[in-house]
Structure 1
Amino acid sequence: MRKLQIDTIRLRLLKIAARMVRSADIIHSSFVAAAHIN
Structure 2
Amino acid sequence: VGIAVVFIPFAVYTLTSVLEKLLEHAILLKTDHDLTV
Same fold judged by TM-score > 0.5?
yes
Runs of 4+ in 1 over 3 A off after TM superposition: none
CA root-mean-square deviation:
0.7
Question: Which letter maps to 1:17?
Answer: L
Corresponding residue pairs, total: 35
* Gaps in structure 1 of 5+ consecutive residues: none
- The alignment's TM-score, normalised by the length of structure 1, stands at 0.82
- The alignment's TM-score, normalised by the length of structure 2, stands at 0.84
* 1:17 pairs with 2:19: yes
